[in-house]
Amino acid sequence: MNKRFLNSLIITITLLIFTICSSAVAQEKNQMVRLAKLVIDSAQLDSYKSALKEEIETSLHLEPGVITLYAISEKHNPTHITIIEIYADENAYKSHIQTPHFIKYKTGTKKMVVALELIEATPIVPGIKIK
Residues 84 and 65 in one domain: yes
CA distances from 58 to 54, 83, 104 (A): 6, 15, 11
pLDDT score for 10: 58
The answer as to whether 52 is a domain residue is yes
pLDDT score for 65: 95
Residues 9 and 26 in one domain: yes
Residue numbers of the domain that contains 73 = 31-121
Residues 55 and 95 in one domain: yes
Residues 54 and 19 in one domain: no
Residues 4 and 44 in one domain: no
Task: Report, in this order, helix, strand and coil percent for the chain, each rounded to 5.
Answer: 50, 30, 20
pLDDT score for 34: 94
- From the list 89, 93, 120, the residue with the least C-alpha distance to 27 is 89
Residues 55 and 36 in one domain: yes
pLDDT score for 123: 82
The answer as to whether 76 is a domain residue is yes
Q: What is the pLDDT along the chain (131 residues), one digit of tens a residue?
A: 566 655 554 555 554 454 444 334 445 678 999 999 999 999 999 999 999 999 999 999 999 999 999 999 999 999 999 999 999 999 999 999 999 999 999 999 999 999 999 999 988 877 666 66
Residues 21 and 51 in one domain: no
